[in-house]
Structure 1
Amino acid sequence: MTAQKYTVLLYSDDQLIRERMRLAIGPRPADDVEVTFVEADTHGAVLRTLDGSEIDLLVLDGEAAPAGGLGIARQVKDDYTDSPPVLLVIARAADRWLASYANVEATILHPIDPMETAGIVADLLRKRKI
């Protein structure tokens, strides 16, 4: 079986968080899903990457500063007609209602669980190619 190839943008102002995201997802989150990562550490870098590249999934740190992933998600959903799905990493389960307001497709909690994260990422990417 040949794996579908996807590009995932990881956003956090913290390099350690981006590394944890990358490790949790891995290069092959499922047998049929292969991932290449692009990283952004600022709000502007996220938007420039979206404008210049084909991105299949955004994984955004809801706790990033000064621009949090929640605000970026909302802007992307409002400004990009065919926006990629968003997986938002949040610190509190209670913030899931805010994520739904921003039209985020999925959330995961800090600390990032690799099994849960890989499964969610694979599902979101498979839906993207349909």
Structure 2
Amino acid sequence: MTSPHAAGSPAQASSPEGVHRVSVLLYSDDITVRDAVRAAAGRRPARDVEVVAWRECATAEAVIEAMDAGGHDVVVLDGEATPVGGLGLCRQLKNEIFRCPPILVLTGRPQDAWLAGWSLADEVVPHPLDPIAVSDAIASLARSRVAAAG
């Protein structure tokens, strides 16, 4: 279980050129899903958002440790991960971490959007992953995180 503390302030706010530099925590037990998310977002998911660091986790325990350590601006959780799915993990993180970073959950299908609502996710993208939807969601969450810190 995580402690009810702040998950760290944004790792990097915005640069003088107006680019938001962010750190992303990515959880999936499937390396192909992690690869697909990183490829979809790329280094620059938007003109004003740059991903400066990826922290990949293959287990829920690793996610909890990483969240306790703090320093992540955006979190991406795979709802189809096993044995601990990203939807339940999202709800746990949102309920236990003060000022939890914004979370994108990846659902198994579009009809699972209601589960994402239950999980308290900030954004949702269904499988199969649309690279534009993934990069747009990460950019949107990065902007919201930086705006909340400012």
1:34 to 38, 50, 57: 50
Alpha-carbon separation, structure 2, partners of 1:69 and 1:38 = 16
Q: What does residue 127 of structure 2 align with?
A: 110
Percent of pairs identical after alignment? 42
Query: Is 2:92 the partner of 1:93?
Result: no
Q: Which ranges of structure 1 fall in alignment gaps of 5 or more residues?
A: none
Alpha-carbon separation, structure 1, partners of 2:106 and 2:78 = 5
1:7 to 23, 27, 31: 23
Query: Is 2:57 the partner of 1:43?
Result: no
Alpha-carbon separation, structure 2, partners of 1:74 and 1:120 = 18
2:93 to 50, 70, 76: 76
Shift of 1:89: 0.6
Alpha-carbon separation, structure 2, partners of 1:49 and 1:120 = 21
The aligned length equals: 130
1:56 to 70, 73, 76: 73
Alpha-carbon separation, structure 1, partners of 2:83 and 2:137 = 27
Q: What does residue 39 of structure 2 align with?
A: 23
Contact 2:41–2:138, Cα closer than 8 Å, also in 1:
yes
Q: Which TM-score applies when normalising by structure 2?
A: 0.83
String of CA shifts for 1:58-95, please: whole Å, max 9, x gaps.
11100000000001100000100110111111112121
Q: Which amino acid aligns with 1:78?
A: N
Q: Which ranges of structure 2 fall in alignment gaps of 5 or more residues?
A: 1-16
Q: Secondary structure at the match of 1:96?
A: helix
